[in-house]
Structure 1
Amino acid sequence: MKGLRLAAACAFAAATAAPAWAGPATINNGSQFTTTTGGQIDAHGGGVIKVGNYYYFLGENRNPDYSFRAVSMYRSTDLKTWEFRNDILKSSSADELNFVNIERPKVIYNAKTKKYVLWAHKENGKDYVEARVAVATSDTVDGDYTYLGSFNPLGYESRDMTVFQDTDGSAYLISSAAVNYDLNIYKLSDDYTKIDSLVAVLKGFHREAPAIVKRAGTYFLLTSGASGWNPNQAAYFTATSLAGPWSGPTRFGHPYTYNSQSTFILPVQGSMGTSYLYMGDRWGPASGQIVNDSTYVWLPLRFPTATSIDLPTASQITIDAARGTIALGSPATTLVRAKVAHSGMCLNINGYNQTFGGKAIQWTCNRDGNEQLERRQVGDYTQLVFQHSGLCLAQDSDKQYGALATQTSCSVGARSQWTISGDTIVNRQSGSCLAIGGASKDPAKEAIVWPCTGDAEQKWTFE
């Protein structure tokens, strides 16, 4: 037993050792995050818990049929360089988890029991009629969690959910109920594994994807509209007590929340103060992909007043975890616009469309955000990211030529990757050139991919 205790103490020390802080890190929004060994990070609908100087990032890792594979966990000191740690809960962890959906997992630490407690939304893998919470615990943050079971909290449905630990050590479950029309707030038991009481009901708002933070005595509860995988505009509620009264919902930020849905708000505390990181998922199924194709959108939350929020957008952010700062953009990135030679017009998105499938067109250059592009390197290829939407230029099908150029998720692979050689932009998927259809000089004429001819409607300059 002494040897076992020593091994456990060493494991805890390894998990919580304080490494040296890394410098500022630039994060590409709408991209796949990867580990230090190059593996894809699957932590969708997830959350973060900080232990020592490490941030532990956990979330959904699903099978192609959307069923539960694991809750995967990664750790980092700079919120960019992620080391895979463990699949902390797996489909083999308990018989009940054999074929289910486990969504939006979060972990909090109970100082009294010295246990890490995981809560998640559980369904039966076939439909969404169970609406349960699942609970598991571990002695270490990234260990194998012991599954305790699932239930309906106080008999209510519980769908999208999060957990929150207040400054006094009490903990709460916040979840969508009544087929997403209500948001219920429950106080957890002293050991964080059960429900103590129902604290408040935000009734009739049809909201989901809750994420919560407390700042200067005010609680901010961010939510999404209930529109399935498709993005919509976020809204927040505020209160000075979790029991209410709650004001809101107040819509804010980008009309499609930068094509994402909220999952967590992370305070990043450092030597210069505390910044607040909005963490969202750009869901793959919204653009015809599977869940593990989903990418991440992380943005700084701003607080114009003591009771209001703003969410400025950019295709990149720079986080300095040591200083506690989050800045829009990257010091090394210059935004450009693409001008086609035959008409002198700029690549644009028709109608200022801000979501998946917006058609790329030529339009009179006006230095509008709709034509601002980030040139993002992905290996030997380039992605062109529209700043107004955060989406990538891509050909909209696998056709060899004649396909429209549209904006979509940056995770669609070769269709969103281009070789820029001199004044031509060649799609990796088809090997065809970005062109203006029919060599038309009309405003709003669609951009397409077409066999490379060297004609003026296929020649582009970046400025």
Structure 2
Amino acid sequence: MSRVLTLLAGLCLVLALLPTGPAAAAPITVPVGAQFTDASGNPLHAHGGGVVKVGSYYYWFGENRNADGTFRYVSAYRSADLRTWEFRNHVLTQSSAAELQVANIERPKVVYNAATGRFVMWMHKENGRDYGEARAAVAVSDTVDGDYTYLRSFRPLGHMSRDITAFVDTDGAGYMISAADENYDLHVYRLSADYTDVASLVRMWDGDHREAPAMFKRDGVYFLLTSGATGWQPNQAKYATATSIGGSWSGWQNAGDALTFGSQPAFVLPVQGGSGTSYLYLGDRWAGAWGGPVNDSRYVWLPIQFPTSTSMSLSYARQLTVDAAAGTITASGSGYDRLAVRHSGKCADVRNGSGANLAPVIQYTCGTGHNQQWRIQSISGGYVQVIARHSGKCLDVDGVSTADGAALQQYGCGSGANQQWSVQDAGGGYVRLVARHSGKCADLPSSSQDNDVQFKQYPCNGGQNQQFTRTPL
């Protein structure tokens, strides 16, 4: 009996020391337009990144930059549920190769080659001073989150190469897609058998001026999601579809609103589970759009809908519920708010629903119009931009004025501090909006009760005409 007990105790010890996978992932909520933190509470830097699933874990790779925007790391994180991310490794660093000591490395994408058993990373490489190199680069590793060996950078078949992604088809063929020739063209390359080189150019869009490619396949249909080339500022995402990568593709079609909800495509992740497969849009809300450093960028994740087998759509949301085990993604809330000034109960409104710059922001009886709905998105330094839903333009103080009585209007979003606001608690469930550049409050002059009175800025004084209810829609 003592020998049996000893054997059982030994068996229990062995079993306890064996590696275990994650428990079945429970449904989690993901905020839209927020920064993420890892399991240790550190900001998660996987900007411009992509995700590969290995076993029960999702591995997220992305840009982790120096304060001046140059390359520091490609960082890797893993999660079983797509919300609780564990930092794993800086898989590529400045010391990985001499040419990386001063460089820009952007949009790293990792794919697995089943034939070689190796993980292959494709990325866009520049010299850290300008964007004249326009090269693709490749690195490899025997483990998904180990140190990657940098192989080289080059211009594929002699073409410039900037924004980049990688895609493995269901037949095992590998592809690299990149913006080419000063971003005017978009190229799809077939990769070599080991995925570390370009074999041929199989499709190109000549002169369409698209970048930020993200390719995925659903029920035999290829989708290629892209953005326009407008620097840090967001624009209208467009996609095309085909049943063969090298064959005929549809024309470009819009996805999301005119600014893709303030984001740019980075990747589309299939989330496969027991109830089916959902497709998750992973976008970056680049901090460069408001003058911040890249590492202050936010993540915009949204579920993709498919009205037909060859069409897709994106709608904004406040948060997502993701059930990775089931493969389901549910959106909650529109992501927009109504702002009603306390003294009158009337709403902040863009006059006549105008889409023009300089259109006045007024108070008006609350209704259902999109010109009374605002996306309040966080940016660097604890500030927000207040963006009109109907136009995609920002709440702005005219002329960057610091004077009392300067008018509030809408204007195309930029990096000006006159479009940056702090949302301050005014007590009683109300808030005030304080302009960053002037320190003054959004104010309804003379506490007027009338429709069509334009908001101005005045010194903050605690008046109810400077207080708003913020109602999520």
425, 431, 452: which is aligned to 1:443?
452
Residue aligning to 2:271: 268
C-alpha contact (below 8 Å) 1:30/1:409 kept by paired residues: no
Distance 1:83 1:71 in 2: 15
C-alpha contact (below 8 Å) 1:22/1:77 kept by paired residues: yes
**Residues 117-154 of structure 1, C-alpha deviation per residue, up to 9 Å, x if partnerless?**
11100011111121111111111111111111111111
Distance 1:335 1:28 in 2: 13
**Residue 348 of structure 1: how far off its partner (Å):** 3.7
Larger displacement relative to structure 2 (207-216 or 281-290)? 281-290
- TM norm structure 2: 0.83
Taking a change above 3 Å as real, the CA distance of residues 298 and 125 of structure 1, as seen in their structure-2 partners, is same
Q: Which amino acid aligns with 1:208?
A: E
Larger displacement relative to structure 2 (395-404 or 35-44)? 395-404
Residue aligning to 1:9: none
Distance 1:377 1:265 in 2: 23
Distance 2:290 2:378 in 1: 22
Distance 1:211 1:26 in 2: 24
Residue aligning to 1:425: 431
Residue aligning to 1:105: 108
Identity across the alignment (%): 50
Larger displacement relative to structure 2 (167-176 or 58-67)? 58-67
**Residue 427 of structure 1: how far off its partner (Å):** 5.6
Taking a change above 3 Å as real, the CA distance of residues 156 and 246 of structure 1, as seen in their structure-2 partners, is same
Unaligned runs of 5+ in 1: 1-12
C-alpha contact (below 8 Å) 2:370/2:390 kept by paired residues: no
SS of 1:304 mapped into structure 2: strand
SS of 2:33 mapped into structure 1: coil
Unaligned runs of 5+ in 2: 1-17
Taking a change above 3 Å as real, the CA distance of residues 180 and 382 of structure 1, as seen in their structure-2 partners, is closer
**Residues 364-394 of structure 1, C-alpha deviation per residue, up to 9 Å, x if partnerless?**
210334434689999xx99897683899998
Q: Which amino acid aligns with 2:454?
A: K
**Residues 333-357 of structure 1, C-alpha deviation per residue, up to 9 Å, x if partnerless?**
9976332233331134567689999
What do you get for the CA RMSD once the two structures are aligned? 3.6
Residue aligning to 2:82: 79
C-alpha contact (below 8 Å) 1:60/1:104 kept by paired residues: yes
Distance 2:159 2:267 in 1: 23
Q: Which amino acid aligns with 2:168?
A: Q
Q: Which amino acid aligns with 1:81?
A: T
SS of 2:289 mapped into structure 1: helix
Distance 1:89 1:209 in 2: 21
Taking a change above 3 Å as real, the CA distance of residues 376 and 254 of structure 1, as seen in their structure-2 partners, is closer
Residue aligning to 1:342: 343
1:458 aligns with 2:466: yes
Residue aligning to 1:368: 369
Distance 2:257 2:375 in 1: 18
**Residues 265-312 of structure 1, C-alpha deviation per residue, up to 9 Å, x if partnerless?**
000111111110111111111112121121111111111111111111
**Residue 241 of structure 1: how far off its partner (Å):** 0.9
Q: Which amino acid aligns with 1:219?
A: Y
Residue aligning to 1:254: 257
Question: Runs (4+) of structure 1 moved beyond 6 Å?
Answer: 353-359, 373-378, 381-387, 389-410, 428-432
Distance 2:447 2:414 in 1: 27
SS of 2:96 mapped into structure 1: coil
- TM norm structure 1: 0.84
Taking a change above 3 Å as real, the CA distance of residues 295 and 461 of structure 1, as seen in their structure-2 partners, is closer
User: What is the number of equivalent residue pairs in this alignment?
Assistant: 443
Distance 1:398 1:107 in 2: 48
Taking a change above 3 Å as real, the CA distance of residues 286 and 462 of structure 1, as seen in their structure-2 partners, is closer
129, 134, 137: which is aligned to 2:137?
134
1:123 aligns with 2:129: no
Taking a change above 3 Å as real, the CA distance of residues 69 and 450 of structure 1, as seen in their structure-2 partners, is same
1:42 aligns with 2:38: no
Distance 1:21 1:449 in 2: 55
Alignment of 1:274-353 (within 5 A): 274-329=277-332, 337-348=338-349
1:88 aligns with 2:109: no
Distance 2:26 2:401 in 1: 41
Taking a change above 3 Å as real, the CA distance of residues 96 and 375 of structure 1, as seen in their structure-2 partners, is closer
Q: Which amino acid aligns with 2:368?
A: R
Taking a change above 3 Å as real, the CA distance of residues 237 and 132 of structure 1, as seen in their structure-2 partners, is same
C-alpha contact (below 8 Å) 1:425/1:433 kept by paired residues: no
Residue aligning to 1:10: none
Q: Which amino acid aligns with 1:89?
A: L
Taking a change above 3 Å as real, the CA distance of residues 163 and 451 of structure 1, as seen in their structure-2 partners, is same
Q: Larger Cα Rg: Structure 1 or Structure 2?
A: 2
Distance 2:168 2:242 in 1: 16
Distance 1:32 1:447 in 2: 32
